[in-house]
Amino acid sequence: THKFWETQPVGQFKDIGDTSLPEGPIELATPLSEVKQEPYNLPSVYEWTTCDMASDDICSEVYNLLRNNYVEDDENMFRFNYSKEFLSGVPARIRVRDEVVKMAEINFLCVHKKLRSKRLAPVMIKEVTRRVHLENIWQAAYTAGVVLPTPITTCQYWHRSLNPKKLIDVGFSRLGARMTMSRTIKLYKLPEAPVTPGFRKMELLDVPAVTRLLRNYLSQFGVATDFDENDVEHWLLPREDVVDSYLVESPETHDVTDFCSFYTLPSTILGNPNYTTLKAAYSYYNVATQTSFLQLMNDALIVSKQKGFDVFNALDVMHNESFLKELKFGPGDGQLHYYLYNYRLRSALKPSELGLVLL
C-alpha cells in the first residue's frame, strides 16, 4: 500500500481499467488565496530553506548532496552525478492528446542517506506542490525507477557500449558468452567520423528550423513536450558537457532535414580502484525525415564516441525501437516509469506513444 500516494490526486491502482473516469485534471484549480500560505511543518530540528542556485556556494551544497545521495542502480555500483548546470527549475508545457498543459517537471528529490525512511519525502512533495500551486500551476510530470500510483507508461533503458573494455572492467557490462575482449572491442567499433553529408553541430541560427522539425515530429505522440523556440534554445542548443545537438543540412537546398541530440550525465563508479567516473550520453530528442533513422543515430554514436563517452543510453520512447537492436544496444537492468500529477489518462500509453524525455 501507499499511505501517502493514496491521498494524492494521481491515478490510483484500483481505478486502472475504469473507462468511466474522465481524462484530464483530477482536482480543479483553486483561487490562490485558498492555497495554504505557510510551509508544511517539518520535524523539529529541520527547517526549510529556498536555495538560491545563482549562488556558487549554495549550488555546490545542492550538487554535493546529490553527488553523494542521489539515484543508484539496484546493486549500488553507480550513482548519478548530474553537473551543476542541470540543477535549476524551469516550467514546462506538456501536451496531453489535444490539450497543452502548464506543468512543473519535478526532479532531484533527494533525502540524505542518513535520513531515509522517516517519511520526509511526503512532506517535501507536499511542500513543493504548495509552492508550485502558488505559481498557479496545477499539474506536474516526473519519472522514477520505482513503481508508484500509477505510471502513464513504463520504459526500458537500453545501452550501447562505446568503450567496452572499461564498461566490463567497472562491472557495467559483462563479457558475453563465447566472446573474447578483442572480439567484443571489434563488435562495438565505429567509424572515425559521421558519414551523413551535411551532418553538423546545431547553432543558434538553427533554432527556428529545429523547432519546426521537432514540433512536427512530436505532434504524433499522445503525451509530448510542447517546444517553442525559447525552449529549443534553452534545452537543445549545444552546451559543453551538458547537451549536444547535431543536424543534417541538405547540401543542395540547405534545409534542416534531420536532428539528433543527447545530454551528458556521468555516474560515479562506487568502490572501483581504477576508475571513478562513467561517462554516459543519454539520447534526448531525435527526428529523421531524409536520412534513415539508423544512419542518423549511428552518426550520433560516432560523435559521442569521439567526445569520449563510454556508453550511449536510450529509452524505448518515440521511434527509438527502430534503431536500438540494429545499432547494438542491449536492454539494461533498469526501467523508467513516467507519471503525471493531477492529470488522469484514460489508459496507459505504450513507450512509443511518449514524446517526452526528462533529464
Residues near ligand EN5 (CB under 6 A):
71, 73-75, 77, 107, 143-145, 157, 159, 161, 172-173, 330, 332-334, 336, 358
Supply the residues annotated as catalytic: 359
Is position 342 an interface residue for ligand NHW (rule: CB under 6 A)? Answer: yes
Q: Is 3 in the site for ligand NHW (CB under 6 A)?
A: yes
> Helix or strand or coil: residue 195?
coil
CB 118 within 8 A of CB 43: yes
Answer for which of 21, 35, 71, 270 binds ligand NHW (CB under 6 A) is 71
What character string, x for contact with ligand NHW (CB under 6 A) and - otherwise, covers 96-135?
--------x-xxxxxx----xxxxxxx--x--xx--x---
Nearer to ligand NHW, 304 or 342 (CB): 342
C-alpha distances (whole Å) from 89 to each of 49, 256, 331 are 16, 30, 31
Q: How far, in Å, CA of 344 to CA of 338, rounded?
A: 13
Cell of 136: 498557479
Q: Residue 119 carries which DSSP code?
A: S
Q: How far is the CB of 280 from ligand NHW (least distance, A)?
A: 16
Nearest to 141 by CA among 180, 99, 190, 91: 91
Which residue, 206 or 316, is less far from ligand EN5 as judged by CB? 316
Does residue number 153 form part of the binding site for ligand NHW (CB under 6 A)?
no
CB 226 within 8 A of CB 179: no
Quick one: what does residue 4 bind among ligand EN5, ligand NHW, none, with the CB cut-off 5 to 8 Å set by partner type? Answer: ligand NHW
Q: How far apart (Å, rounded) are the C-alpha atoms in residues 205 and 209?
A: 8
Query: Judged by CB, which is closer to ligand NHW: 61, or 203?
Result: 61
Q: Which residues contact 352 (CB under 8 A, 6 or more apart)?
A: 316, 317, 318, 319, 320, 321
CB of 34 to ligand EN5, least distance (A): 32
Binding partner of residue 83 among ligand NHW, ligand EN5, none, CB cut-off 5 to 8 Å per kind: none
Q: Give me the amino acid identity at 54.
A: A
List residues binding ligand NHW (CB under 6 A).
2-5, 69-71, 104, 106-111, 116-122, 125, 128-129, 132, 137-140, 142-144, 146, 148, 341-342
